[in-house]
Chains A and B, each alone.
Chain A
Amino acid sequence: MCIKEVPDLDPEVELTIDREKAWIGIDENSRFMMNRFDEYAVEEAIRIKENHPDTWIDVVTVGTERAHMVLRRAMGMGADHGIHIVTSEVGYISPFTLSSWIAQMAGTRNYDLVLTGVMSEDTMQGQTGVMLAEHLKIPWATSVIKQEATNNSVVVEREIEGGFRDILELELPCLLTIQSGINQPRYPSLSKVLKAKKADLETIPADALGPEDDRLEVIEVDYPKKLREGRVLEGNQEDKARQLLDLFVEKAFI
Chain B
Amino acid sequence: MLKKHLFNISVNLKMERIFILVEHFAGKIRAVSYELVGVANLLSSFQPAEIKAILLGENIENLAKEFSEKSDLETFAISVPGLETYNAGVYKEALLNLFKEFPFSFCLSSHSTQGLDFVPALAVKQGAGCITAVELIEEKDNDLIYKRSISGGKLITSLKNKAPSLFLTIQPGSFKSIENGTTFTAKVIQRVYSSTSSTVRNITTKSLNVDSSRLSEAKVIISVGRGIGDEEHLELIDQLAALFPKSAIAGSRPLCDLGWLEYKQQVGVTGATVSPDLYLACGISGTSQHVIGMKGSGLIVSINLDPNAAINNVSDICVVEDLKTFIPVLLEEHHKRRLL
Contact = CB atoms under 8 A, between A and B. Distances in A.
A53 interface: no
Interface string A9-24: 1010011010000001
B120 interface: yes
Contacts of B329: 237-238, 241
B278 A166 contact: no
A231 B130 CA distance: 37
A230 interface: yes
A180 B317 contact: no
Contact of B253 (A96, A181, A221, A253): A181
Interface stretch (A56-64, A168-176, A196-204): A168-176
Interface stretch (A43-51, A105-113, A118-126): A118-126
A133 to B, nearest CB: 7
Contacts of B330: 241, 244-245
A126, A174, A222, A238 interface centre (most CB from chain B within 10 Å): A126
Interface string B299-332: 1110011111110111111111100011001101
A interface SS class: mixed
B48 interface: no
Interface in B178-227: 199-210, 212, 219-220, 227
Interface in B255-292: 256-258, 263-264, 269-270, 277-278, 285, 287-288
A197 B234 CA distance: 38
B319 A244 contact: yes
Contact of A224 (B89, B112, B120, B156): B156
B156 A131 contact: no
Nearest to B204: A167
Interface stretch (A73-81, A82-90, A187-195, A212-220): A212-220
Contacts of B162: 214-217
B156 A221 contact: yes
Given A131-B121, A164-B206, A181-B256, A232 B320 contact: yes
B124 A167 contact: no
A126 B332 CA distance: 44
A233 B114 contact: no
A217 B234 CA distance: 44
Given A121-B151, A122-B151, A159-B270, A165 B208 contact: yes
A191 to B, nearest CB: 27
Nearest to A226: B313
Contact of A169 (B129, B200, B205, B301): B200
B105 interface: no
Nearest to A23: B157
B81 interface: no
A240 interface: yes
B159 A24 contact: no
Contacts of B319: 232-233, 240, 244
B316 A245 contact: no
Interface residues of B, number: 102
Contact of A127 (B85, B132, B156): B132
B145 interface: yes
Contact of B318 (A140, A214, A216, A232): A232
B22 interface: no
Contact of B116 (A96, A130, A229): A130
Given A130-B117, A228-B314, A165 B206 contact: yes
Given A181-B253, A237-B325, A139 B199 contact: yes
B133 interface: yes
A217 B312 CA distance: 29
A123 B192 CA distance: 38
Contact of B158 (A155, A158, A159, A218): A218
Interface string B139-162: 000000100111111111111111
B52 interface: no
A166 B320 contact: no
Nearest to B169: A126
Given A143-B116, A163-B212, A251-B278, 9 more contacts: A11-B227, A122-B150, A124-B148, A125-B132, A130-B116, A143-B113, A168-B202, A216-B129, A229-B316
Interface of A: 7, 9, 11, 14-15, 17, 24, 92, 95-96, 99, 121-128, 130-131, 133-135, 138-143, 155, 157-171, 174, 180-181, 184, 214-233, 237-238, 240-242, 244-245, 247-248, 251, 253-254
